Structure 1
């Protein structure tokens, strides 16, 4: 089974997180990578059936490398032992927000949505301004039964409502945040189930109103030039 093979490779990489092992098992990596890209492609096609404006990107343009940037990290292990992809209107860029797939063995996988980064100050300000103006819509999305049953909004959070915003606003707790995202935990058993793709599409579909709110708020956002 492809999923079992992928999880097996990632588990072995985690136990042998060094460049020598990685290069010695390059053929195994290429197979696992191709299997993951096939899953991403299938998910993209299935999501387009209901999210019809979702562009079709090549799967390789939606996935992230295993290599880690260790320059500013205490953890010097060279690889992130997880397969990751972001399926959105902008490919794997963090904005527009979309559907995030994170596969890692040991029951650490999840399906994600929303804005994960808190480093884009303009994006944070745009979402906060939208929360001020459209707080009732935000509340309606978060209070829907499907949402409450499956999700909790995560994100980096300040201690106080930032300057310039009303501390008494009904969405004050969310105004404190610098990012707004969802993580739906997925067990290894769930990943290995034959209907995993259909399951993931269903969970991602339940995130769509949340993503839609954020994308409307971020409609005029421009990614900083590198």
Structure 2
């Protein structure tokens, strides 16, 4: 597997982000996609061997997000994401239940966990309520030394604690969040060594697992809204 093919293709796509260029370079795109699928299979295999199966019976393609961008409300009309992205979850690429996110982009690759999407109001309320009722567990996860050494909580936030919650709670700062996520940066050089990267990615994801498990417990019973 030539891992540099992925980044080389993405670099070229960034510089030539048009439908015409993509159409003319379909074979290169397929080669990059195939390498990405092989990399994901290695990571899934590592996770499964560690007792954390994530495939859910899905084909690896079910985890991969599409290149096409929704440009309807964006000033940037570039038709494609210049990145390779996947969400490893029993539900495939859907954001809930939360899983492990892989984002490959030259100079900006990272591994992620948690809920990045902030548009699901029911999900936001469910997580806030779970944090209130399980505050000690939540704070213990975030403060666990191996976790805290690698991750910092990120996500879209309000300026103030929502009025339905007590601002004096020890977890009140976390209630400002509309999304709760963590990221781990990946250098371009790491992607040159597929086997090592897959092992490291699986190890990082396993550190994220208690964080994801907490959020998924909060989200039990959540149903993704149907697309209109």
Contact 1:112 1:182 in 2 (8 A): yes
| Worse-matched range after superposition: 185-194 or 155-164 | 185-194
- Aligned partners of 2:44 and 2:200: how far apart in 1? 14
> Which residue pairs with 2:30 in the alignment?
30
SS in 1 for 2:203: helix
Show the counterpart of 2:165. Answer: 165
Contact 1:70/1:77, CA 8 A, preserved across alignment: yes
Aligned to 1:88: 89
- For the residues of structure 1 that align with 2:158 and 2:32, how far apart are their CA atoms? 40
Q: Which residue of 1 aligns with 2:140?
A: 140
2:131 aligns with: 131
Q: Which residue of 2 aligns with 1:220?
A: 221
User: Distance in 2 between the 1:21 and 1:168 partners?
Assistant: 55
1:21 — aligned with what?
Answer: 21
- Poorly superposed stretches of 4+, deviation over 3 Å: none
Cα-to-partner distance string for 1:4-62 (whole Å, 9 max, x where unaligned): 11110110110111111111111110111111112112212221222147523111110
SS at match of 1:68: coil
Closer, same or farther: CA 3–87 of 1 in aligned 2, 3 Å:
same
Deviates more, 1:126-135 or 1:32-41: 32-41
| Separation in structure 2 between the aligned mates of residue 103 and residue 183 of structure 1, nearest angstrom | 13
* 1:176 aligned residue: 176
SS in 2 for 1:122: helix
Task: Please tell me whether the aligned partners of residues 54 and 89 of structure 2 are also in contact (alpha carbons under 8 angstroms).
Answer: no
Residue aligning to 1:64: 65
For these two proteins, the number of residue pairs brought into alignment is: 225
In structure 2, do the counterparts of structure 1 residues 103 and 53 end up closer, same or farther at CA, with 3 Å as the change threshold?
Answer: closer
Residue 44 of structure 1 contacts residue 56 of structure 1 at CA under 8 Å; is this kept in 2? no
Asked whether the 8 Å contact 1:83–1:103 carries over to 2, the reply is yes
Structure 2 runs not aligned, ≥5 long: none
Is 2:99–2:114's contact at 8 Å kept on the other side of the alignment?
Answer: yes
- Tell me the alpha carbon deviations over residues 156-214 of structure 1, each in whole angstroms, 9 at most, x when there is no partner: 00011001101011111100000000111111012223411001001001000000000
Distance between the aligned counterparts of 1:166 and 1:126, measured in 2? 16
In structure 1, the partner of 2:111 is: 111
Is the 1:110–1:183 contact (alpha carbons within 8 Å) kept by the matching residues of 2? yes
Aligned residue for 1:46?
46
Q: Which consecutive residues of structure 1, in runs of 5 or more, have no partner in the other structure?
A: none
User: Which residue does the alignment assign to 1:156?
Assistant: 156
Instruction: Compute the RMSD of aligned alpha carbons.
Output: 1.1
Q: What secondary structure is seen at the aligned counterpart in 2 of 1:7?
A: helix
Which residue is equivalent to 1:75?
76
TM-score by length of structure 1 reads 0.96
Secondary structure in structure 2 of the residue aligned to 1:2 = coil
